[in-house]
Amino acid sequence: MTDIATQLPTETEPADRHAGMKRFFAAYPPGVLLGLSWILLMLILALGADLLTPYSFTAFDLKARLQPPIGMGGALNHALGTDELGRDVLSRLIMSIRMSILIAFFGTLIAACMGTLLGLMAAHFRGKVEAVILVMIDFQASMPFMIIALSVLAFFGNSIVLFVVLMGFHSWERYARISRGLALSANEQGYASAVRQLGAGSGRIYGRHVLPNIASTLIVSMTLTFPEIILLESGLSFLGLGVQPPLTSLGNMVGYGREYITRAPWIMLAPSAVIVLTTLSISMLGDWLRDRLDPTLR
């Protein structure tokens, strides 16, 4: 982390407060700050879901079925309204955010680890190992992942663990490609071959040198994968093939709310808005990070 800090131009004391503010907003545009705040809010909701939900997300309130949210004639007790069974939409939304973010987080982590490992293996071993990994990358890139995911779900049935692992297969090939390319160039004429030549073992070469050097590129790629997995997960859950009730996720809620689109559109609009805002925020953050950390990517 300290390495990144030293790469940034060192700021001198601002002459006056106004100029300092200006420079601050040039470095952190308002859009990015808003996106960042939204992501923070989502993280707080996801981590503190149990404390923050006003009701249990499965609790019925049969007296208040299909109650509209505040602003559409609703009352304070159910701020975002209720669904057909009188369950509190806000509580369900918070639990859904937690589920979707957890799935996207682990999915991204699995994809990044697996892809990076395979990419580094391809670069390290070359030859047959590399050929096999390249064919796998080709295959993954030539089929829409949604179709692969659907077939796997058809064959294996659904469970939450399988589903998370499956999401982790999304876009692993991106990390494999990036890490293979960067490791190859580092091995061929760069610092990695220099360190190897000093007598360092593979653990030191990859752990101490190659990974820290490609980390920023990988992190930027993770900001691409994260929203993609949210979209994929919510798409599958929307179709009823992802997260299964009684668990709930954002896509799941939209799918459920679609039945009540004429009578209670808020059930479907609230999670939709969360999906759009979250993917938008992370993409913006990713673009900003890319410009800052790694202008060579794409």
Partner 1 sequence: MTAQDSGKPLLQAHGIAKHFSVRQSGLGPFGRKGLLKAVDGVTLSVMPGRTLGLVGESGCGKSTTGRLLLGLMTPSAGEVQFDGQPLAKAGTAEWRQQRQLMQMVYQDPLGALDRRLTVGRQIGEPLEIHHPGMTVADRNERIVAEMAAVGLQPHHAERYPHELSGGQRQRVVLARALILQPRLLVCDEPISALDVSIQAQVVNLLLDLQQDLNLAYVFISHDLKVVRQISHDVAVMYLGRIVEYGEAESLFRDPQHPYTQALLAAIPSVVRQGAPRIAPIQGDPPDPANPPSGCAFRTRCPRATALCAETAPALQTLPDGRQVACHFVTPDTASRPGRVAA
Partner 2 sequence: MLSFIASRLARAALTIVFVVTFAFVVLRLSGDPAMLIMSVDAPPEAIVAFRKAWGLDEPIWQQYLAYAAKALTGDFGNSMRDGRPAIELVLERVPMTLAITLPAFLIKICLGIPAGIFAALYRNSALDRLTMMVSVAGFTVPSFVLALVLVLVFSVQLGWLPSSGNDHWQSAILPIITLGLSGAAILARFTRSAMLEVLGQPYIRTASAKGVPWHRVVRGHALPNAAIPTVTIVGFMIGSLIAGAVVVESVFAWPGVGRLLVSAVSNRDLAVVQAVLLAIALSMVAANLVVDIAYGWLDPRLRRGRAQH
Which residues of the shown chain bind partner 2 in the complex (CB under 8 A)? Answer: 135, 138-139, 142-144, 146-148, 150-157, 227, 231, 234-235, 238-241, 251, 254-255, 258, 261-262, 265, 268, 272, 275-276, 279-280, 283
C-alpha torsion 109→110→116→117, nearest 10:
130
Instruction: Name the one residue in this structure whose structure tokens are 């395979």.
Output: 118
Closest CA to 149 of 220, 276, 251, 267: 251
198 binding partner (options partner 1, partner 2, none; Cβ < 5 to 8 Å by kind): partner 1
**Which pair of structure tokens corresponds to residue 74?**
């609703």
Which sign, positive or negative, has the C-alpha torsion 156, 159, 163, 166?
A: negative
Figure out which of the listed residues 197, 245, 296, 298 binds partner 1, where binding follows CB under 8 A: 197
Residue closer to partner 1 by CB (options 73, 199) is 199
Q: Tell the smallest beta-carbon distance from residue 209 to partner 1 (Å).
A: 5
254 binding partner (options partner 2, partner 1, none; Cβ < 5 to 8 Å by kind): partner 2
Q: What's the rounded Cα separation, in Å, for the pair 43 and 34?
A: 14
Can you give the length of the chain in residues? 298
Residue closer to partner 2 by CB (options 86, 235) is 235
Provide the b/e sequence for 3-26 (b: ≥16 CB within 10 Å).
eeeeeeeeeeeeeeeeeeeeeeee
Total residues contacting partner 1 by CB under 8 A comes to 17
Could you say whether residue 200 binds partner 1 (CB under 8 A)? yes
Interface residues for partner 1 in 135-194 (CB under 8 A)?
Answer: 189-191, 193-194
Residue 285, C-beta contacts closer than 8 angstroms, at least 6 positions apart:
32, 35, 36, 39, 223
Interface residues for partner 1 in 57-86 (CB under 8 A)?
Answer: none
Residue window 223-242: x/- pattern of binding to partner 1, with contact defined by CB under 8 A = --------------------
Phi, psi (deg, nearest 5) at residue 82: -130, 170
Q: Which stretch binds partner 1 (CB under 8 A): 110-118, 199-207, 230-238, 282-290?
A: 199-207
Q: Which residues bind partner 1 (CB under 8 A)?
A: 3, 6, 189-191, 193-195, 197-201, 204, 209, 212-213
